[in-house]
Amino acid sequence: MIEFVNECIENFRKKHPKIYNVLYVFYDTIKHYLQSLLIFWGVFEALKNFIKWLVEFFELKLLGQFVVSVSSFIKSIIGPNISLVFAFSIAVALVYSLVMFFRKRSITIHLSGCNKKIDIKFGDIFSCEGIRIIGVNNFFDTLVDGYIVSENSLHGQLIKKMNDNGKKIDEAVKKIQNVVPERIMRAKGKQNKFPIGTTVSVSNGNDEYLLVALSDTDNEDYKARATIDDIMLSTRNALTKADAIAQAGSIFFPLWGTKLSRSGLNHAQALCAMLIALEQEIRKTEIAGKISIVVYTNDFDKVDLLALKKMWRREHGVS
């Protein structure tokens, strides 16, 4: 039943992305509002009980009367008008959702001292046309079981899209040259551990992907973790390799280094790290392709692109 509902939601997202975005932010706003309300009420009740204990223990009658008065006042506002409060909350959440939806959804970052630029936009990297770069763990694992590879990661989504249990990826990994992997005996998953930044190219029909070892996998708990140095190294290596494949075409990076990468960076910090790494590589190597960073659509409330552009312009003196 849950899988059916998730499938329906995913189909709706693909057919009506704009409506889905508004509804998603609306849902997320309501959720956080209710959580905050529950926390506030819990703290209020705990504080009230603590003060009651003080009153009883020290016989502070005046303080007790004050607490009763405040409590009665709050209940008099919320109690009779609970439907009005709820309706107001819904209206605020809806307005916030619409504001977030019409917020700047794409920007262009110009690099100082050269004619290159980097586009940043919200979207789905799998719907982009060009070389799509996907960060994977440093074993290039292909077992999507929620343990070795999560189906929620781009790594897992790509394997499921290829619909061959990762055979094309396995074949591409076997062709890696000039890199000697470390042999690691693990109970599950692949045994060859590659250096961070190692890349392989894979085709799926007309779609071209470049996989890059972004995160180091723990041998005990199998969780992948990336440092800021891993993020920047992988970004630089992937750009050079992707540009050679793209032949002056489009290159698409996802925003990586958040969530399942466990780097400890928020979205804005990870995005800045990627921009710095791309700028470093562009200054060192002649890049012909058009570069874009795609931030997942559902994360547009986590990244303020206008604020990012202003910060970049202030720090680097460019538009």
Determine how β-strand 192-193 pairs with β-strand 182-183: antiparallel
- pTM passes above 0.85: no
- Split into its structural domains, the chain has a count of 2
Q: CA quadruple 242, 244, 245, 246: dihedral positive or negative?
A: positive
Helix (H, G, I), strand (E, B) or coil at 244: helix
Helix (H, G, I), strand (E, B) or coil at 139: coil
Give yes or no for a contact between 254 and 294, defined as CB atoms under 8 angstroms apart. Answer: yes
Least-confidence region, from 25-39, 56-70, 245-259, 281-295 = 56-70
Same domain for 176 and 130: yes
Same domain for 135 and 87: no
- Domain that includes residue 24, residue range: 2-101
The pLDDT assigned to 253 comes to 97
Same domain for 173 and 142: yes
Please report, as a single letter, which amino acid is at residue 212.
V
Residue range 122-135: mean pLDDT, rounded: 93
The pLDDT assigned to 84 comes to 58
Helix (H, G, I), strand (E, B) or coil at 76: helix
Query: What does the mean pLDDT of the chain come to?
Result: 81
Same domain for 93 and 30: yes
| pLDDT tens per residue across span 60-103 | 555 556 666 666 655 565 555 555 556 666 666 666 656 655 55
| pLDDT tens per residue across span 210-226 | 999 999 988 888 888 89
> Residue 96 and residue 60: Cα distance in Å, rounded?
44
Per-residue pLDDT band for 21 (boundaries 50, 70, 90) equals low
Same domain for 142 and 61: no
The pLDDT assigned to 257 comes to 87
> Residue 198 and residue 74: Cα distance in Å, rounded?
60
CB under 8 Å, gap of 24 or more: what pairs does 32-41 form? 33/89, 33/92, 33/93
In this predicted structure, the answer to whether residue 208 has a pLDDT above a threshold of 60 is yes
> Residue 143 and residue 55: Cα distance in Å, rounded?
61
Helices and strands in the chain: count of H runs, count of E runs: 9, 10
DSSP state at residue 194: P
Please report, as a single letter, which amino acid is at residue 287.
I
Same domain for 50 and 157: no
Per-residue pLDDT band for 260 (boundaries 50, 70, 90) equals confident
> Residue 301 and residue 122: Cα distance in Å, rounded?
10
Same domain for 93 and 39: yes
In this predicted structure, the answer to whether residue 52 has a pLDDT above a threshold of 70 is no
Give yes or no for a contact between 287 and 239, defined as CB atoms under 8 angstroms apart. Answer: yes
The pLDDT assigned to 263 comes to 84
Residue range 286-303: mean pLDDT, rounded: 88
Same domain for 138 and 15: no
Last residue of a domain, one of 51, 74, 101: 101
CATH number at residue 123: 3.40.220.10
The pLDDT assigned to 165 comes to 86
Same domain for 127 and 83: no
Per-residue pLDDT band for 140 (boundaries 50, 70, 90) equals very high
Same domain for 132 and 12: no
Please report, as a single letter, which amino acid is at residue 298.
N
Please report, as a single letter, which amino acid is at residue 311.
M
Same domain for 274 and 193: yes
Supply 292's token pair. Answer: 């874009």
> Residue 67 and residue 88: Cα distance in Å, rounded?
27
Give yes or no for a contact between 149 and 142, defined as CB atoms under 8 angstroms apart. Answer: yes
Residue range 119-146: mean pLDDT, rounded: 93
In this predicted structure, the answer to whether residue 151 has a pLDDT above a threshold of 70 is yes
The pLDDT assigned to 139 comes to 95
Per-residue pLDDT band for 264 (boundaries 50, 70, 90) equals confident
Q: CA quadruple 264, 20, 8, 162: dihedral positive or negative?
A: negative
How many percent of the chain have pLDDT more than 90? 37
**Alpha helices, DSSP H only, in 79-118?**
82-101
Counting every residue written for the chain, the total comes to 319
| pLDDT tens per residue across span 154-201 | 999 999 999 888 899 999 999 998 898 999 988 888 999 999 999 999
Per-residue pLDDT band for 283 (boundaries 50, 70, 90) equals confident
Per-residue pLDDT band for 243 (boundaries 50, 70, 90) equals very high
Phi, psi of 199 (to 5 degrees): -125, 150
Same domain for 312 and 224: yes
Last residue of a domain, one of 57, 81, 101: 101
Per-residue pLDDT band for 104 (boundaries 50, 70, 90) equals low
Last residue of a domain, one of 101, 128, 149: 101
The pLDDT assigned to 171 comes to 95
Give yes or no for a contact between 162 and 207, defined as CB atoms under 8 angstroms apart. Answer: no
